[in-house]
């Protein structure tokens, strides 16, 4: 079948090509899963058997975090949308097949409200104007909704009325934050922020634990599949109770907190982002856990210092960003010699590289490889790997 026919067959998105975010939308969902499975097999087959990828029953509107850039076109019309993959060009998008529907509705409503409040959009060239981005985060199981208005200036005329009008339209909104980003940067969020309504964060529940998510902290974007992924990670860890676990690249502490709830004796988390660490500490408290501690810092440096102490972790969980782990991390891991390592990866290429390092430099061997489809329609692949000592 030709590609255009397939697009029609799948009812693909009208901006599929322009946006570039959903690279696999020309394939049916079954074909996407096969494509991802084949890619993981190709990269990891020398390490062991790859279990069949776990897909979604309904692979649409799964994204609980939605971001839109705002601009004014040549005709003075206010537009909002996403950056074309790999560029700084904005593609207008009102409703996206993978984003949360309510989040998209809120973004469109904000765009329509701007003129009546005489609010402008920010212009990156002149560095004048007001609204740059809107970020919406939604707690899947709590239904809490956070709206972050990213502005180029701190001055927000008639902000109280604006927030009131927005909340009247969407009573589901539980908090509104103004984030100020006056810098020439590709980062969406700036340093300073003011809470305009509510408590400045949302909460969500995963695997029976409650998590606080603030504007800047990392949180998995597909809550349904995150439970599947974490479930596998906990299964692979094979907790018997009383183990000491290191949760590295821990974000807001999700994996470690779930492990602690499942009977781990002691959990130590490490994370680079200070906001996420603050959330993680709060999350441990909210889940009534006192056998868990979090440290802010580089995971590789942290591993090196722990490897030199006499703390002997039984299990190391690692969930690095796309760039994968570092040699400092992996060599310290080998020195530390935990009996079990669970590697959660969002990039099978760097995963293969890191597993290769372990194979060449230690007696660690891969026991299980489980891909999970966290990002349907996109090319991204998540994989959980169980690694044990021979």
Q: How far is the CB of 267 from ligand SAH (least distance, A)?
A: 12
Query: Where in the sequence numbering do the catalytic residues fall?
Result: 346
For CA atoms 17, 18, 22, 23, give the dihedral sign. positive
Q: How far is the CB of 326 from ligand SAH (least distance, A)?
A: 7
Q: How far is the CB of 321 from ligand SAH (least distance, A)?
A: 5
Q: Are strands 266-271 and 244-248 parallel, antiparallel or unpaired?
A: parallel
Strand residue runs (E) in 181-321: 192-197, 201-206, 209-214, 244-248, 266-271, 292-296, 315-318
Any idea what the Cα angle at residue 88 is, between residues 83 and 91, rounded to 5°?
35
Q: How far apart are CA 323 and CA 256, in angstroms?
A: 22
Task: State which residue, 114 or 267, has the beta carbon closest to ligand SAH.
Answer: 267
Q: How far is the CB of 305 from ligand SAH (least distance, A)?
A: 13
Q: How far apart are CA 293 and CA 311, in angstroms?
A: 14
Task: State which residue, 104 or 373, has the beta carbon closest to ligand SAH.
Answer: 373
Q: How far is the CB of 380 from ligand SAH (least distance, A)?
A: 13
Task: State which residue, 224 or 272, has the beta carbon closest to ligand SAH.
Answer: 272
Q: How far apart are CA 266 and CA 78, in angstroms?
A: 52
Task: State which residue, 175 or 220, has the beta carbon closest to ligand SAH.
Answer: 220
Residue 95 CB contacts under 8 Å (≥ 6 apart), including other chains: 101, 104, 108
DSSP one-letter string for 89-101: -EEE-S--SSB-H
Residue closest to ligand SAH when measured from CB atoms: 251
Q: Rule CB under 6 A: which residues touch ligand SAH?
A: 218-220, 249-251, 254-255, 270-273, 276, 298-299, 319, 321
Q: How far apart are CA 292 and CA 257, in angstroms?
A: 8
């Amino acid at each position: 079948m030709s590609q255009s026919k397939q697009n029609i067959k799948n009812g693909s998105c009208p901006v599929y090509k322009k946006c570039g975010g959903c690279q696999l939308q020309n394939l049916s969902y079954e074909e996407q899963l096969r494509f991802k499975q084949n890619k993981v097999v190709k990269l990891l087959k020398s390490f062991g058997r790859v279990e069949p990828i776990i897909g979604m029953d309904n692979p649409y509107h799964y994204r609980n975090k939605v971001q839109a850039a705002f601009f004014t076109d040549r005709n003075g019309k206010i537009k909002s949308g996403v950056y074309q993959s790999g560029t700084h060009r904005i593609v207008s998008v009102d409703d996206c097949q993978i984003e949360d529907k309510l989040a998209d509705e809120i973004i469109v409503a904000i765009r329509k409200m701007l003129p009546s409040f005489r609010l402008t959009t920010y212009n990156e060239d002149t560095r004048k104007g007001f609204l740059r981005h809107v970020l919406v985060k939604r707690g899947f199981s709590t239904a809490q909704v956070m709206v972050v208005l990213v502005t180029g200036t701190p001055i927000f005329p008639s902000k109280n009325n604006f927030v009131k009008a927005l909340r009247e339209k969407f009573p589901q909104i539980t908090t509104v934050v103004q984030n100020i980003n006056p810098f020439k940067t590709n980062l969406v969020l700036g340093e300073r922020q003011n809470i305009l309504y509510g408590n400045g964060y949302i909460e969500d529940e995963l695997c029976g634990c409650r998590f606080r998510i603030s504007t800047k902290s990392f949180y998995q974007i597909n809550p349904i599949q995150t439970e599947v992924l974490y479930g596998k990670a906990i299964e692979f860890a094979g907790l018997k109770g009383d183990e000491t676990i290191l949760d590295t690249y821990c974000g807001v502490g999700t994996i470690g907190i779930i492990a602690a709830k499942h009977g781990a004796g002691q959990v130590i988390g490490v994370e680079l982002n200070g906001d996420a660490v603050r959330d993680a500490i709060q999350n441990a408290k909210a889940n009534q856990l006192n056998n868990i501690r979090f440290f802010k810092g580089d995971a590789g440096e942290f591993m090196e210092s722990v490897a030199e102490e006499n703390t002997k972790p039984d299990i190391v969980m690692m969930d690095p960003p796309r760039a994968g782990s570092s040699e400092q991390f992996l060599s310290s891991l080998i020195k530390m010699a935990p009996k079990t390592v669970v590697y959660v990866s969002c990039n099978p290429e760097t995963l293969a590289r890191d597993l290769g390092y372990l194979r060449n430099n230690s007696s660690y061997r891969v026991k299980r490889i489980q891909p999970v489809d966290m990002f349907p329609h996109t090319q991204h692949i998540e994989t959980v790997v169980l690694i044990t000592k021979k």
